[in-house]
Chain A
Amino acid sequence: MSSLLVVIRREFVERVRSRSFVISTLLMPLLIVGTYAVPALVGSGGGGSRRIALVDETQQRVGDAVAAALAVPRTDPEAPTYVVERVAVPFAQAHADLTRRVQDEKLDGYLVLPADVVRTGEVTYRARSVSNFAVLSDLRRAASQGVQSVRLREAGLDASRVAALTAPVSVKTARITKTGEEGGSAQSTFLMAYISAFLMYFMLIFYGMNVMRSVLEEKTNRISEVLVSSVRAGPLMMGKILGVGSVAFFQIAIWAVTVTVLAAKTSLVTRRFHLPPDALSALKLDPGVGLAMVAFFFLGFFLYAALYAALGAAMSSEQEAQQFQMFVLLPLMAPMFVFVRLASEPMGTMATVMGMIPFTAPMTNAVRMSAGPVPAMQIVMSLLTMLVSVFAVAWIAGKIYRVGILSTGKKPTLGELVRWLRAA
């Protein structure tokens, strides 16, 4: 076996065997889906039945309409339902009693419709918990409907007729791709862009840092010199990058298989995560786009892995390397800062420019290609630019690496780094 293969094999086997590989394989999808799904879950949850008292002080009997609106059966099985208890006595008399019943958990809360509510448009809801968005929006809707119907009636209009005339229009979306019209709502497109960009971002950082740690491990444990007596620095660095890279691809393959299996049970996934039924339809990628994404990830990984390798070789401890990591991280993070802009204007100037800069191209183009069709010419140009930069960066990184892995003690000054470049 050639030295390069021996190095690759060690990096691969030791990593895949480690506990952190198993953990990251499980956690990374959870992290990505979690950051997307948790806000949705927090916003929607909180179903179940609620017992609410309704104090109506109005002459116009607004309470009847409010109670009726709250009693309307819901289509969403997870939405909250209400048992409404009408209070006949004025609020001033019932106040203390109602508060006590809420405290004793006989009631969830009570809604007060003051006498002048039709004019002021203000009601008060007192409850143990006032942070449930679903309940609050239900109450707001019911109170609004009650007050509006009175206002319409006083203006001589028929409430049901007005409702029919002002019924909202819903917009259905369909994405047009090279292969024709396909399903895929705005939300599903956004989800795809989000997943592909974040996945790339996390993977580049995670595995880039793995390369850096691997270099530092050999430096700090004084393994480098034993190694370079058997392997040249070049194949050693290349083997490291390829070895760590193959772990990344292996991990992605595991996820890809999992997603394929899950996609066969799409309905299960969408229901679990409260996504619209067609949310995952955009996950079915156009093969060309899929290939381009893999190419971007591949080149991006090489680019950043080489940078991380050089960083590790130039520093003498992980703490020191962490301080300087910002220089590598910033270009990597830049597309994520403007993610929304990239996703909403995939052909805008910013997206086009960032798509051509090698250091921001992988994530930027992942977002752009998920959001809409990007001219093939731009993708090819971007990939070619990246390819050239990968060679340039690897060449420079290789020189720093060659000298750096054998230098111990304090970290080099900028001048010394330049000398390393010249000498190696």
Chain B
Amino acid sequence: MSNALLLEGVSKRYAGHVAVDDLSLAVPSGSIYGILGPNGAGKSSTLRMVMNIIIRDAGRITLLGADPERDRGVLRRVGYLPEERGLYRKMRVLDVIVFFAQLKGLDARTARTEGTAWLERMGLGAWGRAKVEALSKGMQQKVQFITTVIHRPDLLILDEPASGLDPVNQEVLRDTILSARDQGRTVLFSTHNMMQAEELCEHVCIIASGRKVLDGRLRDIRREYRGNRWRVELEERTEQAERFLSSPHGFGAFEPAGDGWEVELDDAGDPQQVMSALAGLDARVSRYQRVEPSLHQIFVQRVGDAATAERRPEVAHV
């Protein structure tokens, strides 16, 4: 599988601190890829280097087969939604969309038809001639999405796309990302919200303090980091079952957890053996399942709480 984006040993240093430190990652074409990390981890700096907004100090970037620093034309095939985003407030909605589309190389006529179609799709069909400032914040966010995707980019780069979105627009964002993927586009986005990433991403890269903590296919990461902890839930609680669960066993002890119980099996512990024991109970088992670690747990396990660093004050980033 080819990569839509490849970073090899990329670094960025500002006066006083290292924003991105020897970062390498590969975003497979057609995937939804999440860059995760706490605020100030270097996510935005990384994306800005990809977009050639800031110049990297070291390393190689291959964006859709080209180096964006040498071949800026490749940036036209990218749709970028920065974390700091806004629109011309005094312009008409459709004019704003056409303007950004033209900057990406669309001709005026196509931009106009596409823009009208997108407005229709987003439920803003009647607002094309209105001024941006007349729109609600949520509507403006939709217009912002349109300006990012209107030129049918091969790669979408979204920096904290969900920040400031209401639940309805988060749905819109989700649909936009998923339909882009379905059309064969690659979506790369950054977030500090692990839950959101888990929901959408196939691949993730977790960074902290500018360094990569781990990356790979989300399924593989989960498999790697899952322990041998199992969860049991019962349809009903019988005396016999309670007695079984509260007494120690050779494989470990059950601990109550929420509605059910969890047991940490030692190395010798065989999940099959536990299942057969459970099958002998007079209560019916409704759930018996390996406990999968959440991304957040994996992150905390790898980085520790120390990495939830304070965000540095935003200064001029050269």
Residues of chain B contacted by A227 (CB below 8 angstroms): 103
Q: Are B104 and A222 in contact (CB under 8 A)?
A: no
List B contacts of A229 (CB < 8 A). Answer: 51, 53, 75, 78, 80, 82
Q: Which residue of A lies closest to B51 (CB)?
A: A229
Q: In the complex, A144 Cα to B86 Cα: how many Å?
A: 75
Cα-based distance from A420 to B107 in the complex (angstroms):
35
Task: Tell me the A residues contacting B by CB distance below 8 Å.
Answer: 1, 3, 6-7, 10, 14, 18, 217-218, 221-232, 403-404, 406-409, 412, 416, 419-420, 423-424
A224 to B100, CA, bound (A): 12
B88 at the interface (CB under 8 A from A): yes
**Digit string of B42-86 for contact with A (CB within 8 Å is 1, else 0)?**
000000100101000000000000000000100110101110111
Cβ-neighbour of B87 out of A223, A409, A419, A423 (below 8 A) = A223
Which of B53, B78, B100 meets A228, CB within 8 Å?
B53
User: Is chain A's binding surface mostly helix, strand, loop or mixed?
Assistant: helix
Asked whether, in the complex, the Cβ of B15 is within 8 Å of the Cβ of A419, the reply is yes
Contact of B318 among A6, A10, A230, A403 (CB under 8 A): A403
Task: Take A10-B99, A227-B103 as given contacts and tell me if A409 and B314 are in contact as well, using a CB distance cutoff of 8 Å.
Answer: yes
| B78 cross-chain contacts in A, Cβ below 8 A | 229
* Cross-chain contact B80 with A226 (CB below 8 angstroms): yes
A407 touches B89 (CB 8 A): no
**Which B18-40 residues have C-beta < 8 A from chain A?**
none
Shortest distance from the beta carbon of A328 to any chain B beta carbon, whole Å? 21
Q: Is B315 an interface residue (CB 8 A)?
A: yes
B315 touches A225 (CB 8 A): no
Additional A-B contact list (16), CB under 8 Å, known A226-B82, A230-B100, A419-B15: A6-B102, A14-B88, A14-B90, A222-B86, A223-B87, A225-B82, A226-B81, A227-B103, A230-B103, A231-B103, A403-B316, A404-B316, A407-B315, A409-B313, A412-B316, A416-B316
Q: Are B103 and A408 in contact (CB under 8 A)?
A: no
List residues of chain B with CB under 8 Å of any chain A CB.
15, 48, 51, 53, 72, 75-76, 78, 80-82, 84-91, 95, 99-100, 102-104, 107-108, 147, 313-318
Q: Pick 22 A–B contacts, CB within 8 A, sort by A.
A: A1-B102, A1-B107, A3-B103, A6-B99, A6-B102, A6-B103, A7-B103, A222-B85, A223-B85, A224-B84, A225-B84, A226-B100, A229-B51, A229-B78, A229-B82, A230-B76, A230-B103, A409-B313, A412-B316, A416-B316, A419-B15, A423-B318
- A161 to nearest B CB, angstroms? 76
In the complex, the chain B residue whose C-beta lies closest to that of A227 is: B103
Cα(A424)–Cα(B53), bound, Å: 11
Contacts of A406 in B (CB 8 A): 53, 316-317
Q: Which residues of B contact A6 (CB under 8 A)?
A: 99, 102-103
With a cutoff of 8 Å between Cβ atoms, the chain B residues found around residue A412 in the complex are: 316
* Bound complex: CA A228 to CA B15 (Å): 23
| Contact A419 to B318, CB < 8 A, known contacts A221-B87, A222-B84, A226-B82 | yes
Q: Which residues of B contact A221 (CB under 8 A)?
A: 86-89
Chain B nearest CB, measured from A235 CB (Å): 10
Residue in A closest to B47 when the chains form the complex, CB atoms: A229
- Distance to closest chain A CB from B288 (angstroms): 50
Judge whether A424 and B86 touch: CB under 8 Å: no
CB distance from A212 to the nearest CB of B (A): 16
B318 close to A14 (CB less than 8 A): no
A374–B23 Cα distance when bound, in Å, is 64
Docked Cα-Cα span, A412 to B81, in Å, equals 26
Closest 6 CB pairs of A and B: A407-B316, A222-B86, A221-B86, A423-B318, A230-B103, A225-B82
Q: Shortest distance in angstroms between A205's beta carbon and chain B's nearest beta carbon?
A: 22
Closest to B159 in A: A225
- Contact residues in A for B147 (Cβ distance below 8 Å): 226
Contact (A420, B72) CB under 8 Å given A3-B103, A6-B102: no
